[in-house]
Amino acid sequence: MQQRLRSWAEAELFPLRMQAAERKAVLLGDAVYLLAWDPQKGRVRLRTYDPGFYFPVLEEDADPGDYPQRVHLAWEIPEDPQQGTKARVRRITYELGPIVAAGPHALEDGSAGRGLVTDGTGGRPLEAGDVSRADNGAIERRYPWAPDRPTGITCYLTDAEWSLDDLRHGQSLDDLSMERARFRTRSDGEVLHRLDLRIDFLPLVHISNTVADGEHFGQSTLATVMQVLDELAETDTDSARASATTGAPIIGLAGARAEVDRVTGRPRPLAVSPGTIFQLADGGRMDVLDTSGQLAELRSRVEEIRDRAAVNARLPAVSLGTVDPSDVPSGYALQLSLGPLDSLVDAMRLARAHKYALLFKLVQRIHQAGQAEGWATGPTPPVRLAFGPHTPTDRSAVLDEVVRGVGACVLSLETGVGMLQDAGYPIEDAREEVERITARRPAASPAEDARSSQPGRDEEVSPPERA
């Protein structure tokens, strides 16, 4: 399963998409992953969306960490005069609901849609794998990841567009009229109006940048230093203006004769350049405005604001690369200075740990629902995304520690290989690495085997009758 997930991540460019989503999460506070089955490619497709397009329908008394039952992805499409299309709103809705027998049919305005269907005798036609309960007539389904637990819940997909002229002032996104909607169609001609996806979950994963504390959405890392960043931008602007007057100073001349423009009859402005000579009359002088002092003060002000922003954002100067490594007195002092960054990264990884575990669980289940080759029916094994070290690691020290620990039998070989993998050594699979080391390890001699089987001097040997 791990090999299949790695192959899927490589084919779907998961590291690249993950970096794009994490940038949105850090800067904007949230990120959204969308999973969809692609029958042509035979795998799950992964897309990232801007958190501004994410509109979950949350219950009033629901836990902010709970999974919502209905989610919208919506954005405005501008008008295109060349194609003759007006401005409109597109809304993609995923919602959980009871399984019903539905099929395509024409709506009242003549557009394509989907509604309840019957088999001609008043009954409901069932799809493969669905059963109808005899007591209440509800339709139940057994999903591949839970073959022993039937359920009557499925996920419906609706993808529609509305013209801005059809929307009323103050109308919420969840209250758009379905009568004025124009449903989109899939590449195979399937109408995307309450389309049964044959899964019992929403294929959306919301990543929050911070741990939820009564709120569903996260907080941007820059939210705590917004005012400091504004002050830094204003100070940089003042520094640029002061550097302009310092590099090209303002000069005042007294007793100089300016050249007269023959067309206008007015004196031409004097230009100062290297090699320029001015003839001054008796008592003439030249005064230069010196702004270098103000420029030095502004530069020190910029450094002060940067330090304050780093402290508020819990990003020490060592992590920003603004400190000379030779100025650090010891490695212990360097480790202490990275303490705020460690706590910040730990909190951010804690907020993402269960979300990425959920992402890989959905990837496995959608492959099972799509009947992909190699994804057998059965429970979903748990998957964890392991993050690498965010600070420089002394790999030689870790290697020496592993060698001494494994050699002294206080660490197992599996634990030592895992420590080397976390330190950044190019070990793709820890299990295969352990098997290679074990296979290449020389066999122990009979004398060593006999010596290892004998009890030590300090061990107590129980008599046979007591044993």
Round the average pLDDT of the chain to a whole number and report it. 82
Return the pLDDT at 135.
78
> Parallel, antiparallel, or unpaired for β 280-288 and 139-143?
unpaired
Name the residue with tokens 């496995």: 364
Q: Which residue has the higher pLDDT, 427 or 135?
A: 427
Q: Hey, what amino acid is at 98?
A: P
b/e 42-65 (16+ beta carbons within 10 angstroms → b)? ebbebebbebeebbbeeeeeeeee
Return the pLDDT at 464.
44
CA distance 446 to 91: 74
- Per the CB < 8 A criterion, the answer to whether 357 and 382 are in contact is yes
Q: What is the pLDDT of residues 220-229, one digit of tens each?
A: 988 888 888 8
- Whether this prediction's pTM lies above 0.85 is answered by no
Q: What dihedral do alpha carbons 204, 205, 210, 215 form, nearest 10°?
A: 40
Q: What is the pLDDT of residues 302-324, one digit of tens each?
A: 888 888 888 888 887 777 777 77
- Per the CB < 8 A criterion, the answer to whether 166 and 177 are in contact is yes
User: Would you state the structure tokens that stand for residue 117, as one six-digit string?
Assistant: 């269907």
Interacting residues of 447 by C-beta distance below 8 A, sequence separation 6+: none
Q: What is the pLDDT of residues 87-105, one digit of tens each?
A: 999 999 999 999 887 666 5
Please work out, in degrees rounded to the nearest 5, the angle formed at the alpha carbon of residue 119 by the alpha carbons of 116 and 121: 115
Q: What percent of the chain has pLDDT over 70?
A: 87
Return the pLDDT at 213.
75
CA distance 439 to 433: 10
Terminal Cα-to-Cα distance of the chain (whole angstroms): 46
Confidence of residue 452 (pLDDT cuts 50, 70, 90): very low
